[in-house]
């Protein structure tokens, strides 16, 4: 839908559509060097509420922390992976196709968080958090240039570059206080499965690598986790 709206605007109001295209292009130039996980980026672009939920939804924050801890455990075991999308039902891990390894890491991560390992909830290259921080900083810098009367293409580029520089610096603190909750409460792991890497946005499908999705639930009893 967002892409369809952009195309309609480009057709009906060419100058506005062109400005939007340039803005999206500049934003992507900033995001690509950050190594933003593809799944997280497409999930957010297709459904912007996925980004706001990691700031506002308590359960999503806990799932987000578990996702980070799982990736940190996997990396400590020598695997190469990155966090993907996250929602109330669970989270995805990109870069692996071994569901059993991800399940084992998720179980260990959950136990470590419950034992007080708050540091595991922080992942330095969290795509969702860095995207949110970059967008916020970009908007702030652009508004400041408008207020100062120096708005222009160069000002926009400078604003995005400044956001790119400050984003990684602020990301760990933003994660610690705003986008994760390391206290797991009654959260438990209910299953894991390998999912198709197809992402749909604006009526189009984009093929990406397959991901491992870990399902979670609020613990209401003893349930055996299942590997699909």
- List C-alpha distances in Å: 226 to 2, 109, 136, 191: 36, 17, 39, 5
Local structure of 2: helix, strand or coil = helix
* Amino acid 125: pLDDT: 80
Confidence of residue 103 (pLDDT cuts 50, 70, 90): very high
Spans of all domains in the chain? 2-227
Residues in the chain: 228
* Amino acid 226: pLDDT: 52
Across 167-182, average pLDDT? 88
In this structure, of 30-39, 52-61, 129-138, 195-204, the range with the lowest mean pLDDT score is 30-39
Higher pLDDT, 3 or 55: 55
Local structure of 53: helix, strand or coil = helix
Across 25-38, average pLDDT? 49
Chain segment 109-146, per-residue pLDDT in tens? 999 999 999 999 999 888 777 777 777 777 777 777 77
For CA atoms 156, 150, 142, 4, the dihedral sign is: negative
Question: Does residue 64 contact residue 86 with C-beta atoms inside 8 Å?
Answer: yes
pTM above 0.75, yes or no: no
For residue 64, give the nearest of 90, 41, 46 by alpha carbon: 90
Q: Kindly tell me if the per-residue pLDDT of 200 is higher than 70.
A: no
């Amino acid at each position: 839908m967002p892409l369809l709206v952009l195309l309609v605007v480009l057709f009906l109001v060419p100058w506005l559509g062109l400005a939007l295209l340039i803005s999206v292009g500049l934003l992507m130039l900033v995001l690509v060097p950050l190594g933003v996980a593809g799944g997280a980026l497409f999930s957010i672009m297709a459904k912007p509420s996925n980004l706001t939920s990691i700031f506002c939804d308590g359960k999503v924050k806990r799932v987000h922390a578990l996702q980070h801890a799982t990736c940190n455990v996997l990396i400590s075991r020598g695997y190469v992976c990155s966090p993907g999308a996250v929602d109330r039902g669970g989270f995805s891990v990109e870069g692996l196709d071994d569901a059993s390894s991800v399940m084992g890491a998720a179980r260990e991560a959950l136990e470590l968080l419950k034992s007080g390992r708050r540091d595991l909830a922080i992942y330095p290259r969290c795509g969702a958090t860095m995207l949110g921080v970059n967008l916020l900083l970009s908007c702030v810098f652009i508004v400041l240039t408008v207020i100062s009367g120096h708005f222009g293409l160069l000002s926009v580029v400078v604003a995005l570059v400044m956001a790119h520089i400050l984003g990684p610096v602020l990301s760990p603190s933003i994660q610690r206080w705003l986008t994760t909750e390391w206290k797991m409460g009654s959260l438990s792991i209910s299953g894991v499965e390998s999912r198709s890497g197809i992402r749909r946005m604006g009526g189009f499908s984009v093929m990406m690598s397959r991901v491992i999705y870990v399902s979670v639930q609020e613990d209401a009893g003893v349930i055996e986790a299942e590997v699909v």
